[in-house]
Copies of this chain bind each other. A is one copy, B any other.
Amino acid sequence: MSDALRHPFDQAIALQADPADADRFTGRTSPAYWNMVGPFGGITAATLLQAVLQHPQRIGTPLSLTVNYAAAIAAGDFRIQATPVRTNRSTQHWLLQLSQVDAQGEEQVASTATLVTAIRRETWSSTDLARPQVAAAAELEALRPRAKGVAWIEQYEIRPLSGSFPSVWDGAGEHSHSRLWMRDAQPRALDFPALAAMSDIFFPRVWLRRAIPVPAGTVSITTYFHVDAEQLASVGSGYLLGDARGQAFRNGFFDQSAELWSEAGELLATSNQIVYYKE
């Protein structure tokens, strides 16, 4: 398929396998998912996950993904090393590194990650977290958000329920809790990379909390996946309900706790991140 026909998300996470080393991949940053000083963190998480999904030795589906953003990724080529360090009967543990060659010709690590994949078996199940009672996506206005120099948000359709992006930066914020419906602007069936990316869709909680646009950026994100591939596929290109809040803002870092639900009311993923902020 020519690139022009592929979904921008698929183009962004596309990787070439190294024929000489199953653990190595190369990719290239996508202008469509560009953030202010590097790629959208969610697309980096999705790309790292994609390396394992393409890896010939993988067993199971993603269970737990931690991505650490060690440095801004420059526009251009990158390498991913995805190593299965331990394979058990039903779980597999991966170490990942994303690196780029710097101006001095040296390979520098820009992101690290760990991933656990698992073969899931049917067991007793229950969702203890209460599903938010909210208006249906169709009842709300669809936003196609735009911000200068920030391409990635145009890839998503957002329908805010509460805790929307501050319209005035007047320092009068009162809380850090947002709820929104979201989906790809250009329809695409949900898969694990898309879910990993959407887990990072929420703008920095400190902006909402303070109504001041201080510099902020994710340092580390951990997402737990609660569904298998079949359950995920049943979501199709429907909306996800995202719910996110800050917990502790302290001396330069805050944490965010978030959940992603399907329209049918299934808890697909829970995600936490720690975020740097200035001032």
Chain A residues with a Cβ under 8 A of chain B: 63-64, 66, 68, 70-71, 85-86, 88, 90-91, 93, 95, 97, 108-110, 112-114, 116, 118, 120-129, 175-177, 209-210, 219-220, 222, 224, 226-228, 245-253, 255, 257, 259, 267, 270, 272, 274, 276-279
Contact in complex: A70, B85 (CB < 8 Å): yes
**Interface SS of chain A:** strand
25 CB < 8 A contacts A-B? A63-B219, A66-B220, A68-B93, A68-B116, A85-B109, A86-B109, A86-B112, A90-B252, A91-B276, A93-B112, A113-B114, A121-B252, A123-B251, A123-B277, A123-B278, A124-B210, A128-B177, A128-B209, A128-B247, A128-B249, A129-B248, A226-B248, A228-B251, A247-B267, A248-B267
Shortest Cβ gap from A60 to chain B (Å): 11
Q: 9 closest pairs, A vs B, by CB?
A: A70-B86, A70-B93, A120-B251, A226-B248, A129-B247, A66-B66, A222-B222, A64-B220, A85-B109
Contact for A71 among B88, B90, B252, B255, CB less than 8 A: B88
CB-CB < 8 A to A127: which residues of B?
247-250
CB-CB < 8 A to A125: which residues of B?
249-251
CB-CB < 8 A to A86: which residues of B?
70-71, 108-110, 112
Q: Bound complex: CA of A255 vs CA of B86, how far in Å? A: 22
Q: Bound complex: CA of A198 vs CA of B88, how far in Å? A: 27
Q: Bound complex: CA of A108 vs CA of B220, how far in Å? A: 27
Q: Bound complex: CA of A246 vs CA of B116, how far in Å? A: 19
Q: Bound complex: CA of A227 vs CA of B272, how far in Å? A: 18
Contact in complex: A272, B272 (CB < 8 Å): yes
Q: Bound complex: CA of A226 vs CA of B124, how far in Å? A: 35
Q: Bound complex: CA of A97 vs CA of B95, how far in Å? A: 10
Shortest Cβ gap from A117 to chain B (Å): 11
Q: Bound complex: CA of A251 vs CA of B224, how far in Å? A: 13
Closest to A175 in B: B128
Best-buried of A63, A123, A175, A279 by chain B (most CB within 10 Å): A123
Q: Bound complex: CA of A177 vs CA of B130, how far in Å? A: 13
Closest to A125 in B: B250
CB-CB < 8 A to A90: which residues of B?
252
Contact for A128 among B121, B129, B245, B277, CB less than 8 A: B245
Q: Bound complex: CA of A261 vs CA of B64, how far in Å? A: 26
Closest to A66 in B: B66
CB-CB < 8 A to A126: which residues of B?
209, 249
Contact for A220 among B112, B116, B248, B278, CB less than 8 A: B116
